[in-house]
Amino acid sequence: MKKRVILDTDPGIDDAVALAVALSHEDIELKLITTVAGNVSLDKTTKNVLKLLDFFGKDVPVACGAMKPLVKCLEDASDIHGDTGLGGYDFPEPTNTPIKLHAVEAMKNVILESNDPIDLVTIGPLTNIALLFSMYPECKKNIKRIVMMGGSASRGNHTPVAEFNICVDPEAAKIVFQSGVAIVMCGLDVTNQAILLPADIEVIKTMNKTGGMLYSLFQNYRGGSLTTGLKMHDLCAVAYLVRPELFSTQECFVDVETGGVYSAGCTIVDLKNKFKKAKNATVCLGINVVEFRSWFIDRLKKLI
């Protein structure tokens, strides 16, 4: 049976890679794409999703979500992804527009109307999901799990201790981790290992239209380099959804620091059960990188 999925995203170059796979995978039924401010502003992330849908010739409803975090001012990642979020490839202006419902309302409708539980795949800040749980807690009962790219059991990438998606909106992340919904955390412990090597990138470059598009985007991606390899952070969440055997995991209690001059956005991952609290997340700690690369390149071969 296909997995019924809502994808919450903030494209972003590595989001585009994840979206390419999610849109085309035979085991995924993408019911809705929701956008959030993160890598770039909400208007840009939404436009980027619409451009990618046009590129792949897919018709999936898109709903705009939160334009800022719950409490903080937005800190984007345009230094990593460029000013537009998808610089480097000349996409035409999108032909479609988002639906009129806010992302939270659209998610609520899809979740409550679904006969089967929904997988939420989140590859941006968790603002939309926190708002959903705060406004419509009845949705939780029909969510199978959240598979998120976010957090870290070790060090950070936005601050010394905080990963970007969590750090952008730590208050939202705290709400999500305390929601009682099953969570799979694909954090930096695995995403920093999920690297496309220069040789892989050269293969992708001439593979097909999609490969050429991604190669053009990679020229402007600062998540690594073309000479040392590029980190496919967000792709890990989609990979876990369809190929969980690629990952080694541990059940842990996870919480999020929201205060502190230096620690806001830090994910506290209790690997040794020091706090004796109920485990609320499946934390990915290892990945079979060779198989991950092989899987991704095989997926790209099936695209336009």
Query: Averaged over 217-244, what is the pLDDT?
Result: 88
Residues annotated as catalytic are: 233
Strand partners, 143: 118
Cβ atoms of 4 and 12 closer than 8 Å: no
The whole-number pLDDT of residue 75 equals 80
Question: Where would I find the H helices in the chain?
Answer: 13-24, 42-56, 78-81, 103-113, 127-135, 164-168, 170-177, 188-191, 198-205, 209-218, 235-242, 289-301
pLDDT at 134 over 90: yes
Q: Give 195-238 as a 3 state SS string.
A: EECHHHHHHHHCCCHHHHHHHHHHCCCCCEECCCEEECCCHHHH
**What tens digit of pLDDT does each residue of 155-212 get?**
999 999 999 999 999 999 999 999 999 999 999 999 999 999 999 988 888 889 999 8
pLDDT score recorded for residue 225: 72
What is the arithmetic mean of pLDDT over 226-254? Answer: 94
Number of domains present in the structure of the chain: 1
For the chain, give the percent of residues with pLDDT over 90: 78
Q: What pLDDT is recorded for position 38?
A: 84
Burial 225-257 (b: 16+ CB within 10 A, else e): eeeebbbbbbbbbbbbbbbeebbebeebbbbbb
Percent pLDDT > 70 in the chain is 97
Domain that holds residue 128: 3-301
Q: Which amino acid is at 1?
A: M
- Which DSSP state fits 241? H
pLDDT of residue 223: 66
* CATH code where residue 137 lies: 3.90.245.10
pLDDT tens for each residue of 73-124: 888 766 666 677 788 888 999 999 999 999 999 999 999 999 999 999 999 9
